[in-house]
Amino acid sequence: MKTVELLEEHSVLDGVQYKYRHRSESLNCSMTFSLFLPNKEKFPEPSLLWWLSGLTCTDDNFTHKAGAQRVAARLGIAMIMPDTSPRGKEIADSDDYDLGQGAGFYLNATQKPWSSHYKMYDYIIKELTSLVREEFHLIGPEFISGHSMGGHGALVLGLRNPKRFQSITAFAPIVNPSQVPWGIKAFENYLGDNKEDWAEWDAVELIKRYSDKKVPILIDQGDTDQFYKKELEPDKLVKVAKEKKYPLTVRMQSGYDHSYYTIATFIEEHLEFHMNQLKNIKPKE
Amino acid sequence: MKTVELLEEHSVLDGVQYKYRHRSESLNCSMTFSLFLPNKEKFPEPSLLWWLSGLTCTDDNFTHKAGAQRVAARLGIAMIMPDTSPRGKEIADSDDYDLGQGAGFYLNATQKPWSSHYKMYDYIIKELTSLVREEFHLIGPEFISGHSMGGHGALVLGLRNPKRFQSITAFAPIVNPSQVPWGIKAFENYLGDNKEDWAEWDAVELIKRYSDKKVPILIDQGDTDQFYKKELEPDKLVKVAKEKKYPLTVRMQSGYDHSYYTIATFIEEHLEFHMNQLKNIKPKE
């Protein structure tokens, strides 16, 4: 029996774009997600990209604006786009765009009033994972990618689950949330005052203490991104990655900003990066 | 002196996506439009595609969702995306999505209360044309394309200005508005009861009485489009085109619907169709 309700189904670029609703146990609310499947005959067992969106986004933004379906259809990649937080009138929220609904930060909140619903890490890594495996039989190799807050999510979820994700890419990620306004505000609210708890959800801190399988990371950062200096600063990640000899590539993109136009420009190279890692890794198995 | 106000500027796919605001004389209100320019060094004198959107759309829909910038950047095509009607609190409107603001139907209204602002034909064919030529020096060959109501617009504007547009393409166009609910409602309101006036804004009627230079037309129509039978029916255009030996290609696309996913799928072929016409035409000059 399907536990998901189909909301939309569209043919697009030799694949199908779906939008679903389901009841989430971990978030204790109704959630939507979007799913792209490449041509089933050509790719019966596709790879799976997890795409994590940024502040204020839903599952629609990347789905509508990135043009990724064209590339995923060609390379044989399924893509799942979760929403960015629990949703609903009964769910804790704030008037600010960077806290509460639309701003889940891909962590498990421990502080009231957030802790009863804001469990985006468990939702993605456990619940939605089981769902796509069981309902959609997506059991191929997995990659993770995201933008801004979702770039932070891709880095943290990827680094915490290196046996699962073959590679990580991000656009303009918040690499060191413990040290920047967006992250400090979120972590204080969701996690409380203990900085040791924050480190578990901070890519710079995770790489500092990293001792697991090193999953390659590619980051694109636009140099006219209005949040570059205040919230993002991938140099901080470059520094700790060098110290730990962690395989990280950060590309500064001249003239590119924080918008989905930047994602639309480079998403093809990100998906190709993921598929290339797969080729590199497979012979070693 | 620039008569336009820059609202947005984004690097995307080796080109730049702009959004502008200006005061329209013909519509007597403030309007926005979007403009994509391919790399100026590679394409100092690009061709120009006019994209006309459908009901409820603004200049944003195609700009955000079609993924056309990738193709236009490669082929050297500038693209202008006008809004779909005059806008503003002081402008006549209706509570229906298919009449009034967002539903200008690319004609010059003659009936009150619409006639004081709803002059989308003049706006595009005269005012915005002068603007892009003078402000942006876009004086290359021109094509026209659109979706649904905008497909109707592309057909009508193209057929009425065959010396100007090298080719016409449309996605799911309203080919015979005089005979379908969307068109009848719009024409009764904007044009009044005289059916002879309607014929001037109806592609089927224009081709019936056509005697000018024949500009090639390509149409894509999805067969799972929910409006296909009730509002669109390109077969009506095929019939009159055959009688007049008008160069029209209609492609039924199996499994494709009325959404922007269909546009994203086939926009590359439309832009290539336009550029190919240019190649065919140029040697004859």
Q: Say whether A11 and B67 touch across the interface (CB within 8 A).
A: no
Q: pLDDT tens digits for A171-197?
A: 999 999 999 999 999 999 999 999 999
Q: Say whether B11 and A64 touch across the interface (CB within 8 A).
A: no
In B, which residues are within 8 Å of A260 by CB distance?
64
| Among B10, B14, B261, beta carbon nearest to A17 | B261
Q: What is the pLDDT of residue A1?
A: 47
Q: What is the pLDDT of residue A278?
A: 85
- Of all residues in chain B, the one with the smallest CA distance to A259 is B10
Average pLDDT over residues A163-168: 97
Q: What is the pLDDT of residue A272?
A: 98
Does A269 contact chain B (CB < 8 Å)? no
* Distance in angstroms (rounded) separating the CA atoms of residues B261 and B251: 16
Q: Say whether A260 and B13 touch across the interface (CB within 8 A).
A: no
| Among B17, B256, B259, beta carbon nearest to A261 | B17
Closest-CA distance, B238 to chain A, in angstroms, reads: 25
Residues 6+ apart with CB under 8 A from A90: A29
| Among B17, B67, B255, beta carbon nearest to A67 | B67
Q: What is the pLDDT of residue B4?
A: 95
Q: What is the pLDDT of residue B26?
A: 97
Q: What is the pLDDT of residue B279?
A: 82
Q: pLDDT tens digits for B8-45?
A: 999 999 999 999 999 999 999 999 999 999 999 999 99
* Distance in angstroms (rounded) separating the CA atoms of residues A27 and A250: 33
In A, which residues are within 8 Å of B256 by CB distance?
11
Interface confidence, given as ipTM, is 0.91
* Distance in angstroms (rounded) separating the CA atoms of residues A133 and A143: 15
* Edge-to-edge strand ranges of the sheet holding A217-222: A4-12, A15-24, A29-38, A77-82, A47-52, A142-147, A165-171, A217-222, A248-253
Task: Select the residue from B41, B265, B266, B269 to test the A interface by mutation, using most A Cβ atoms within 10 A.
Answer: B265
Does B115 contact chain A (CB < 8 Å)? no
Count of pairs with CB atoms under 8 A, one residue in A, one in B: 59
Average pLDDT over residues A157-164: 98
Residue B243, both tokens: 């009688």
Q: What is the pLDDT of residue A2?
A: 59
If contacts are CB pairs under 8 Å, which of residues 26-45 in chain A contact chain B? none
Mean pLDDT per 10-residue interval, chain B, length 285 residues:
87 97 97 98 97 98 98 98 97 97 98 97 98 96 98 98 97 98 98 97 97 96 97 97 97 98 98 91 45
Degrees to nearest 5, angle at CA A64 with A58 and A65: 100
Task: Kindly tell me if the per-residue pLDDT of A106 is higher than 90.
Answer: yes
| Among A12, A256, A264, beta carbon nearest to B261 | A12
Average pLDDT, chain A: 96
Q: What is the pLDDT of residue B283?
A: 42
A258 counts as catalytic: yes
* Domain architecture of chain B: domains with CATH: 4-284 (3.40.50.1820)
